[in-house]
Structure 1
């Protein structure tokens, strides 16, 4: 700040008292303007509305901050006695800094003159930093600030890892949790940084710590092999851009007396674009039994290019403990066109011939020109080949045409029965849906023609009658919702929104349901669950929520204890359409009153940001819950893993069916039913939620369009994927997949052996119904009667699929 590296335009504030106390005057030890940044209004206790923000333009590693008040040559005497710091790496997700004991408030100034420096322990990695004055009584404050640190050259923006575990010791247990992790922490750590990047390496004896007044094992994040049947711990690292990686250095504890050793082997996968590369890199460090002690293990990454790295660290003993992981990489992707060569001024004794420079530049230009020509030739050959393939595989003009289109960030699918529609009328961003094969043609931009529906018993018919039959086939089932009637699948806060017929929505709009306004100050942030384009979903604790609820709603929590809630928050900068959609979602959620559906508890809509507060269950979502458990049996006894009985699985499935039965009675269509959207409470209580789509943890479950996760194709019916039909029957299809997940304890993704493109291709087989479609296999624990329910949910004809009333009744009959 005081050195001038940070420009005026990179310093902003929530408000300013006057032009002469604007944000740009908040530089430490400077007296320009009126001598400091001063907010417009008096700062009140417990108010964190005012802040001074610095944009560092790139990620920085910040270890020290300084503050000063406003002196202004004796005219001013304003300063901040305390302050908090918030930081962000992307400008949207803000994190409150806390020290190693969990304290957020930093002691500031006692007068307007002195500079007070404070170490940030732990340090922060951020691009944006906010200083937020804190007071214990109403007072005027002014601030000048400074940041000390360096550019974060690792480029690491987050790592995802399992939560650290606890080791029993004779005196005190050792806790190997990542206590300063700034991402989401439930059963795993996602989208954050913590002790593995704080620059502090653990001691040889992990029962001691660099930091006083903390527990044994504090400096390390560690895991035991008993919790990982696969024999390895997987950590994923996300970076700011694609990089050329040379090495990874891992600081490991090596204390054989406590059964802790460095990893036996690490297998690293690399992702440069959307997909993970097939060929991993394996590395095994040399064992050193003679010299016990913590050490750095250097892994050669062989100049692999990636924007994300996923490493599987294999156990060498019962425990594996890490205290620091760093990467050496280079962001340069190619040689510059005009590299800087040494000049005579750099070394008077060494002269460089200018002709060599010209020759080098000429060679580079020639190489680039040749590469451009090669690329043009390759592209032309591909286009010509596609034209030949299309000509050779042209089908009858009167066949059914399925059109996939994306308009205004929504996806809607229409089917056309006329063959006169030209390619120019399409505006889709889909380039290819089905891979070339004997039953498919290459679509030109959007058009993908499906062959007519035929069976072996039917004689050949004319193309016109075939088209009519196929058109009739896709019109079976309940009336589907037209594009204008479908609420966008992905809501403003990132989760899915229920589809509602226009008629039902009109009826809803004529009713008013009272929802209490809840005081924001009684919400305590725990972690971010997910986010969307215009908002976020947070896990919070709400104090006094019982006082705001109707008597019909009962909490299984004493009134003096906080309630765990999910808070959907709309960003203050959201546009008018997003605000209207958010309010519409509140109106929809306020209608839902069922024991197996997450309920809207309260709202905060009198001021920005708009919030809706819904239930949350203490055991998280069903996917994560089941993945941590095993079925009852000998294997579970040997592994000492927590178990869930088959009857409990049926009980949970029946609750999901009951909740969906309630939704279907209102003509509501969920559109994203899956275990990730079911929450688990006490005694296997299940409630259906809607924010699984917003969570980065489940981004792999969605088919990406234009870089956004929007289509849960592995749970979607064939008519939803091909025709955009979302009905209660398509929800029944998704229930069958959800039931399959439950019986597999969520250990495997549906159709895990198929790529996304092959899953879409398989929907074409369901449409043609020529007995070539692939069904999900019968799980090991699944009896024939339960698998028959799944198969009935996946029937091609929507009218033949069971209703949720029938599914619920069948599941209840299976329970003892």
Structure 2
């Protein structure tokens, strides 16, 4: 019996953690899962423009919902949708009234109000405080707006906004997923301001909290602890653009809360639940006085009118003074029953910071979970006490008669059978979910022309006027599945990159016919040189090749032919041995399977390197360096790979390539010391800046000029030209792998893959390897073929990043699976492939150069020498 319960609880505990980037399923306006009675409005013009006609891509009635009369700027007409349950809402899509090419009314902007109970309504604002979202510019275009922050709600109102008196009509789709946590509010002390000497101040407040603020306390709402955004290891860095340091965290200082030494929070849920665990994402940057909580005590209340149970759940954490990474702490709640929790988190240092809190629980209250509720002295005298069977309360009570025993046995058997059925259904649902995940539908033909806006979160899908859809949505097998469908649907045949070869017979034949084992359909491409065929032993990803692609420290080791691993020893390493005691740890940048990358200060390094040092004079100050370190548990193969990487790095000598400065290999752990630049990586540098203008100068906003961007592009092209001249293939060229010094000199590095900050840029293959698929050429994704030509493709994507100021990820509206599917479209070359849009800052001639980098046919891509020569004249313009 207990085993069955444990299995159920473990299965349920695997769910409940929301990821906004994947929680993007249509909630049912278009396909009718949201019923007509659940769609209401403040008014309607005619019966044929009633609120239930506001369905996305539908043409019933007169084609949309239209409020009565002309909409004035002061009006607050609204369309209201009841989602039927608490929902994590992430995306809103709108259209105007097309009405079979006879309509022309649409909303140019709108606001959102929402309610979790239908009584208390709240106004949505984006992370910068703006409540208004841009909508349509014509009657048929679909405009998709991401909600930052997302909304947890059951009821949603769309309120059209206008600056002039006009007629508006709307069709709507809502996207998100169920809010299984069931949390409807949390209360906590207000976050505080940290002003450490020598560092930027960090405002650790809950800036998106939608409840009340009174007496320096938050209550009755939800905010950043439930928005799905996990804070970074360094709390001064943020995942959001144009916000202040500390934005992702809610934090408190120990001595500001009196002598109590803890932070008390209360959590209220939609109904009574059996709680299995609580997950708290906590910062642990102990070098700044921040640690995870030392312990937590949680009390439970079965009903809101009841008192708190006397016996809490107490959990003590294991403090870690070696790893400063932020992490989730899972607190077991022992299947306690409650509708409300009160938890006290005890300080382990000066500061405590949380970025996310989630709960795992059961919806059903099992009879075995009912326990005697003992109220505290402060509890109401009217609190209800759950009764206990007499035989349990009094061991001397008589044994039930035989008839009652038979009934009890029958009940137990029935419960066991129900548990078995529940377990079977859970396992079946998991299987079905995996099948569905592997079989998304193909992107619709009318959704193939995509323009992404770099200036906002708005996506415009240009769909040509189409005849009205009959019935209640698309017919046929594709519409029979009751599960949610994602925005941008894929081919039902799609499985994984290795299976694409079986899916595309022409790809399989050309690959198998290739003399290099990773060739292409074009005869001239198969005649590759030994340097080009250094690892192409299979027409798809070989598992050993995938693992070796990562490098020892998780970084992307440069691919070089003809280096034998077995012969590498200390005598093959030309770099000098540096005293490891002079390396002072500052921060862990990332880690891989067998190694780590640390940011360190190297004392006396300039004197050690002597004349000819590649480092600038620091006037006796310590030099920041990146240290790749092999862990003690590394395998012998990893050790050999590490030495091989040192040998490769020692051969590189170019002003735009990171230099190997010295090593520590005389004893374990093995280390290599490379340059590190003061301005960090190019992605972070550009994402925190705007293009130079009068406004940026007047307001002291960090900025870069177009000339700066072109100069950066030329330097990257120069560094890659040097690598190509040595037949080196980088395999992970991106802005995250380009470092800048104070003079904006760029040096190409290779450890972006190891950094947690950029984990979302990599796609995990079968749970083992990770690949930067959004930067990879189609032949690298489909065939596992990495050459200088595939580096050219990645260079084009890197240029695109630079001229969007790294404000969004490439193909940000496509999932990883859709990116892989799009590579199949490049191979088929039938005009269905999706290209990255032209950045507004990018000169047309430069975008043409990017498009050449993304040529389907390999010979049509430019060389790095050609790219360098084409870019260099732009710098002096």
TM class by smaller structure: 0.5 to 0.7
The answer for unaligned runs of 5 or more in structure 1 is 1-154, 157-224, 236-241, 267-283, 391-433, 455-463
Higher relative CO (Cα under 8 Å, sequence separation at least 6) belongs to: 2
Cα RMSD (Å): 5.1
> Could you say what secondary structure the match of 1:710 adopts?
strand
Paired with 1:551 and 1:318, the residues of 2 have a C-alpha distance of 40
Listed as ranges, the matches of 1:482-561 within 5 Å are 482-483=535-536, 488-502=548-562, 512-549=572-609, 551-558=611-618, 560-561=620-621
Work out which of the residue numbers 499, 513, 518 in structure 2 matches 1:446: 499
Find the residue that maps to 1:719 and give its secondary structure: helix
> Partners of 1:626 and 1:575 in 2: how far apart?
38
Match for 1:615 among 652, 669, 675?
675
Q: 1:297 aligns with which of 191, 199, 219?
A: 219
* 1:788 CA drift (Å): 1.2
Q: Distance in 1 between matches of 2:522 and 2:675?
A: 43
Rate the CA distance shift 1:691–1:345 in 2: closer, same or farther, 3 A: farther
Per the alignment, residue 189 of structure 2 pairs with 251
Tell me, in whole angstroms, the C-alpha distance in 2 between the residues paired with 1:689 and 1:319.
28
Deviation, 1:446, is 3.5
Quote the offset at 1:811 in angstroms: 1.1
Q: Could you say which residue in structure 2 is the equivalent of 1:716?
A: 776
CA displacement, residues 182-238 of structure 1 (integer Å, 9 cap, x when unaligned): xxxxxxxxxxxxxxxxxxxxxxxxxxxxxxxxxxxxxxxxxxx99968899989xxx
Instruction: Please give the residue correspondences for 1:340-359 in structure 2 after superposition, counting only pairs within 5 Å.
Output: 347-348=393-394, 355=405, 358=409
Query: Mapping of 1:30-45 within 5 angstroms?
Result: none
| CA distance, structure 2, for counterparts of residue 229 and residue 659 of structure 1 | 42
Whether the aligned pair in 2 keeps the contact of 1:477 and 1:798 (CA below 8 Å) is no
Q: Displacement, 1:637?
A: 4.6
8 Å Cα contact 2:213-2:219 kept in structure 1: no
Which has the higher mean CA deviation after the structures are superposed, 339-348 or 774-783? 339-348
1:3-51 deviations in Å (ceiling 9; x for gaps): xxxxxxxxxxxxxxxxxxxxxxxxxxxxxxxxxxxxxxxxxxxxxxxxx
Which deviates further from its counterpart, 558-567 or 329-338? 329-338
d(CA) in 1 for partners of 2:725, 2:242? 52
What are the superposed Cα offsets for residues 87-136 of structure 1, whole Å, 9 maximum, x if unpaired? xxxxxxxxxxxxxxxxxxxxxxxxxxxxxxxxxxxxxxxxxxxxxxxxxx
Aligned to 2:853: 793
Matches within 5 A, 1:175-194: none
C-alpha distance in 2 between matches for 1:569 and 1:529: 12
Task: Tell me the TM-score normalised to structure 2 length.
Answer: 0.50
* CA offsets 1:556-598 (integer angstroms, 9 cap, x no match): 2335210000011111121211111111111111111111111
Going from structure 1 to structure 2, the CA distance change for 1:713 and 1:370 (only over 3 Å counts) comes to: same
In the alignment, structure 1 residue 470 sits paired with structure 2 residue 521 = yes
| Deviating more after overlay: 675-684 vs 364-373 | 364-373
Compared CA separation, residues 309 and 543, structure 1 to 2 (3 A):
closer
Shift in CA distance, 317/372, structure 1 to aligned 2, threshold 3 Å: closer
Q: CA separation of 1:312/1:661 partners in 2, compared to 1, >3 Å: closer, same or farther?
A: closer
The DSSP-based 3-state class of the residue aligned with 2:643 is helix
Please say if residues 206 and 250 of structure 2, whose CA atoms lie closer than 8 Å, have aligned partners that are also in contact.
no
The reply on whether 1:362 has 2:413 as its aligned counterpart is yes
Is 1:692–1:698's contact at 8 Å kept on the other side of the alignment? yes
Q: How far 1:808 moved relative to its partner?
A: 0.9
| Structure 2, unaligned runs of 5 or more | 1-15, 18-124, 132-146, 151-179, 194-202, 233-237, 253-262, 268-274, 278-334, 336-360, 372-387, 442-487, 508-512, 538-543
For 1:312 and 1:613, locate their aligned partners in 2 and report how far apart those are by CA, in whole Å: 29
CA contact (8 A) 1:534 1:570 kept: yes
1:805 aligns with 2:872: no
Q: 1:771 is paired with a residue of what secondary structure?
A: coil
Residue 114 of structure 2 aligns with which residue? none
Is the contact between residue 683 and residue 735 of structure 2 (CA under 8 Å) also seen in structure 1? yes
Q: CA deviation at 1:306?
A: 8.7
Secondary structure of 1:538's counterpart equals: strand
Compared with structure 1, are the counterparts of its residues 248 and 769 closer, same or farther at alpha carbon in structure 2 (3 Å cutoff)? same
> What whole-Å deviation, never above 9, does each CA across 1:261-315 have from its counterpart, x for those lacking one?
975643xxxxxxxxxxxxxxxxx11355xxxx42243546999999979999999
Q: Which residue of structure 1 lines up, in the alignment, with residue 788 of structure 2?
A: 728
Q: 1:513 to 1:683 in 2, by over 3 A?
A: same
Out of 691, 706, 716, the position equivalent to 1:646 is 706
What are the Cα deviations for residues 397-433 of structure 1, in whole angstroms up to 9, with x where unaligned?
xxxxxxxxxxxxxxxxxxxxxxxxxxxxxxxxxxxxx
Deviation per residue, 1:623-658 (Å, 9 max, x gap): 000001100125535654111011111111111111
Question: How far did residue 607 of structure 1 move?
Answer: 1.5
Distance 1:759 1:387 in 2: 14
Shift of 1:366: 2.0
Question: Which residue, 722, 734, 743 being the options, matches 2:803?
Answer: 743
Question: Is 1:773 aligned with 2:833?
Answer: yes
